């Protein structure tokens, strides 16, 4: 065996013994690379006689082909083996238990705001919003509230400055003022939102939710108010008949003013809304006081209308059987999980999405 043949055999052996793709790559450049074995053999040809040149060149080419054949077999074997090992390593174990994940719930207050908004929107009310931080003027003065009214007391209202000019709104009624000042009658709006009073017990929290309603047009009267509220209460509680009574009351921003009670009874420890010998107060309302209209630049000879204010949290408690108002705002996940609404499981009378 010539020296050359011996070298070829050694390289073959080396290729066969390669264990992984890194080793095989290194061997490849050692044999076939720019400065590898084959090229260096070819570089020796220059010094040979023309006859020997031919012989030696064909010997190198044969050797090169032999090595290339072994190389391609071994290298594809190694690549296959490594590929299979990787697939095996990355295999997904479908028998593993899934990661636990929790779907969020819609808070009963958000749910009820959506329900109320869709009920009123069906009879032409649009939704308005106002800021939680209000001026004393919009919250009290424009709404005809006298300087010495008890609601203005420091014990009731959260003032944000020493001059008592800025405060956290105590009701959603200032949205009436904002709406009338920025537009022209007629107005037919509802305004849900957060309100604040310095109060805390089982039925009062310092922050709570109200819904304001305002309908101003030519010839609007108490009959329209009654019809509107009657429709709303029936739709909201999903009942055919409702006992409702208007009790004379007083609010500085309405004249006449009334509080509305609905009939209910207790059956099997549960409250049944709609009939019975008991009365539950659910809202305040009245015909908008001419002073309020004047403060809002409305011509009282041409326009008049009604307004109402509803406690949203109270309605949510009644409809969904929740006892303690404070639990609404304790951010207890277990509570929300129990009383909250599945975003994909919409209650029957919720029309916001399905209609
Ligand atoms: N703003 C009143 C309150 O917070 C509720 C209210 C009563 C609003 C009568 C009205 C209304 O618009 O006409 O107690």
Q: Is the pLDDT of residue 344 over 80?
A: no
What is the structure's pLDDT at 104?
A: 86
- The residue whose CA is least distant from atom 12 of ligand 1 is 308
Mean pLDDT over 130-147 rounds to 96
What is the structure's pLDDT at 347?
A: 57
> pLDDT tens-digit profile of 182-205?
999 999 999 999 999 998 887 788
255 and 159 in one domain?
Answer: yes
Length of the chain: 355
**What span, in angstroms and rounded, lies between the C-alpha atoms of 244 and 233?**
9
Cβ–ligand 1 distance for 251 under 6 Å, the answer: yes
What is the structure's pLDDT at 349?
A: 53
Mean pLDDT over 148-177 rounds to 93
Give 284 Cα–ligand 1 centroid separation in angstroms: 5
Question: 174 lies in which domain range?
Answer: 108-339
Residue among 191, 212, 287 at smallest CA distance from 246? 287
DSSP class of residue 177?
H
How many folded domains does the chain comprise? 2
124 and 42 in one domain?
Answer: no
**What span, in angstroms and rounded, lies between the C-alpha atoms of 172 and 207?**
12
**What span, in angstroms and rounded, lies between the C-alpha atoms of 173 and 151?**
13
Mean pLDDT over 207-229 rounds to 97
* Residue 103 forms part of a structural domain: no
DSSP class of residue 156?
T
Mean pLDDT over 34-44 rounds to 89
- The residue whose CA is least distant from atom 2 of ligand 1 is 309
Cβ–ligand 1 distance for 307 under 6 Å, the answer: yes
What is the structure's pLDDT at 275?
A: 83
- The residue whose CA is least distant from atom 4 of ligand 1 is 171
Which CATH number is 249's domain given? Answer: 3.30.930.10
| Residue 262, CB-side half-sphere exposure with 13 Å CA sphere | 26
Q: Does residue 101 contact residue 140 with C-beta atoms inside 8 Å?
A: no
- Out of 28, 59, 89, pick the residue that ends a domain: 89
202 and 257 in one domain?
Answer: yes
96, 201, 237, 311 from 123: Cα distances, Å = 54, 36, 17, 20
189 and 296 in one domain?
Answer: yes
Confidence of residue 159 (pLDDT cuts 50, 70, 90): very high
Q: pTM for the whole thing? A: 0.71
Cβ–ligand 1 distance for 314 under 6 Å, the answer: no
Write out the two tokens for 101. Answer: 């994940």
* Residue 95 forms part of a structural domain: no
Q: Is the pLDDT of residue 209 over 80?
A: yes
């Amino acid at each position: 065996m010539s020296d050359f043949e011996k070298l070829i055999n050694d390289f073959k052996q080396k290729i066969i013994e390669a264990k992984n793709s890194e080793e095989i790559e290194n061997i490849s450049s050692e044999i076939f690379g720019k400065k590898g074995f084959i090229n260096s053999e070819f570089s020796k040809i220059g010094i040979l006689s023309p006859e020997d040149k031919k012989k030696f060149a064909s010997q190198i080419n044969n050797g090169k082909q032999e090595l290339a054949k072994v190389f391609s077999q071994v290298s594809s074997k190694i690549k296959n083996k490594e590929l299979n090992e990787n697939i095996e390593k990355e295999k997904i174990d479908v028998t593993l238990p899934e990661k636990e994940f929790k779907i969020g719930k819609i808070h009963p207050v958000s749910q009820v705001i959506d329900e109320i908004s869709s009920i009123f929107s069906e009879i032409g009310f649009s939704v308005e919003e106002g800021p939680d931080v209000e001026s004393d003027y919009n919250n009290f003065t424009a709404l005809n509230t006298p300087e010495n009214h008890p609601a203005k007391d420091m014990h009731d209202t959260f003032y944000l400055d020493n001059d008592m000019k800025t405060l956290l709104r105590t009701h959603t009624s200032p949205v009436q003022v904002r709406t009338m000042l920025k537009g022209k009658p007629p107005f037919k709006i509802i305004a849900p939102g957060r309100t604040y009073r310095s109060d805390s017990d089982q039925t009062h929290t310092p922050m709570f939710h109200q819904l304001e309603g305002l309908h101003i047009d030519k010839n609007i009267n108490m009959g329209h108010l009654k019809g509107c509220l009657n429709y709303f209460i029936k739709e909201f509680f999903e009942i055919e008949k409702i006992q409702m009574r208007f009790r004379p009351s007083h609010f500085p921003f309405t004249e006449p003013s009334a509080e509305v009670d609905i009939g209910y009874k207790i059956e099997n420890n549960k409250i049944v809304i709609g009939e019975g010998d008991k009365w539950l107060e659910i809202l305040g309302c009245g015909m908008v006081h001419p002073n309020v209209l004047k403060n809002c630049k409305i011509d009282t000879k041409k326009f008049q209308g009604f307004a109402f204010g509803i406690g949203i949290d109270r309605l949510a408690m009644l409809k969904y059987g929740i006892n303690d108002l404070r639990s609404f705002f304790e951010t207890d996940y277990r509570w929300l999980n129990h009383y909250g609404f599945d975003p994909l499981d919409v209650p029957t009378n919720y029309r916001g999405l399905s209609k």
